[in-house]
Chain A
Amino acid sequence: MKDFNYHSAKDSKEASKLASSSSAFLAGGMTTIPSMKLGLATYKDLIDIKNIKKLSGIKVSGKSVTIGAATKHVEVSNSKDVKKAIPSLSSLAEGIGDPQVRNRGTIGGSIANNDPSADYPSACIALNATIHTNERKIEAVKFFKGMFETALKKGELIEAIEFQIPEKSSYQKHPNPASRYAIVGVYVAKHKGDVNVAVTGAKSCVYNDKEMSKALSGNFSSSSIDGMDLDSSEMNTDMHASAEFRASLVVTQAKKAVDAC
């Protein structure tokens, strides 16, 4: 790994001030460190944000669950408050990576990285999340821009993610047996008035499947999306699954999610 300067910031202001075009914020480091070791990313400065107290913790109000950006996956999966308010979010966190990754990896790191197969971005889309940064609030649908790309500007730091509590919800994924990343993951959330069907792993970036959302908003039953033939032209093809298989998996996982609601 190439040499860099390690900094530990005491608050968001200091972290942001240290940031430059050749720096990265370090939370759990579950992606940043392997990427640097493999030479896929090089930074002059790593700014550790784990010790900023304000960035950790979970708050539940009547309508929403707000999770600090540096909150670890294990804290989300073990939280009684999250389990009670949005059980599907707790089980999503429990299914990320392995116990050692969950002991270290953070929700803010996951969404800032926006891996096309990551679990948390689908929760943000399905649960109409608002991403709070040190500068502004961004709606989830405007936050995830493309493959590993977000609306974050240089030096902008995610402070918390606010999820809307749905009436019912479930996250179902078909994990890669080796990496546990989702080959396809579908997060279905029924809110008052509409249904979101957020899909991860299928395309270059998480998205809300409008066709299924519409069908399920009319009739919230797995029969209303049964046999739906999704357009696979923009879906990923790799050694693990073809685009056609992914299109079929999206429907299967969505049906499973609706049935589990």
Chain B
Amino acid sequence: MIKSLWVKILIKGEIMGKISLEVNGRKVEKEASDNTLLSTFLREHLQLTGTHIGCDTSQCGACVVHVDGNSLKSCTALAADVNGSKVTTIEGLETNGKMHPMQEAFKKLHGLQCGFCTPGMVMSAVDLLQKNKKPSDTEIRDWLEGNICRCTGYQNIVAAVKEAATKM
């Protein structure tokens, strides 16, 4: 296990460790301090800024990514404690420049206005359809409990998730 190879070094007075992840199918290895959040690691160390930071207190869900196939809030996980995992971010959903069916559905049905919450919404919704292929309106709303949108009023988001369910 990669965990057992955890090596600590001191750089500029900070305790650093090596983070090895597979992000969107690509292997990455970077030094990061132990207190680096997964969201920070993705945005600042890998420049994957599609993952957004909204509330930073695990309420809003703008930072949702998949770790080993399950959605989680990347602002509330340490990079060190997902070391060795497979991570998928919003950037990893497209295939050869073609949007994922969930992204297409959000675009087609106006499931966004300002778009700030969208990466988290989409990642959360994709995880739902992995676990429940034909969710009802109630199941979609229940599942999106941890994703806050301040523009749309959710109607078009729910419609988009239902539309994507017919395409996935």
Contacts and interface: CB of A to CB of B under 8 A. Distances in A.
Interface in B1-33: 1, 3-4, 6, 8, 14-15, 17, 33
B156 interface: no
A30 B58 CA distance: 8
A98 B57 CA distance: 14
A contact residues, range? 20 to 34
Contacts of B58: 30, 33-34, 100-101
SS class of chain B's interface: helix, strand, loop or mixed?
A: mixed
Interface size classification for chain B: 20 to 34
Interface string B32-57: 01110100000000000000000011
A21 interface: no
Contacts of B37: 1, 33, 37
A97 B146 contact: yes
A29 B81 contact: yes
B76 A33 contact: yes
A178 B35 contact: no
Interface string B106-145: 0000000000000000001001100000000000000101
B35 A29 contact: no
Contacts of B1: 51
Nearest to B65: A100
18 contacts: A4-B15, A5-B15, A8-B6, A8-B80, A26-B78, A29-B76, A29-B78, A33-B76, A98-B61, A99-B143, A99-B145, A100-B58, A100-B124, A101-B58, A101-B146, A103-B70, A103-B72, A104-B77
Interface of B: 1, 3-4, 6, 8, 14-15, 17, 33-35, 37, 56-59, 61, 64, 70-73, 76-78, 80-81, 124, 127-128, 143, 145-147
Interface of A: 1-6, 8, 10, 26, 29-30, 33-34, 37-38, 46, 48, 50-51, 74, 97-101, 103-104, 178-180
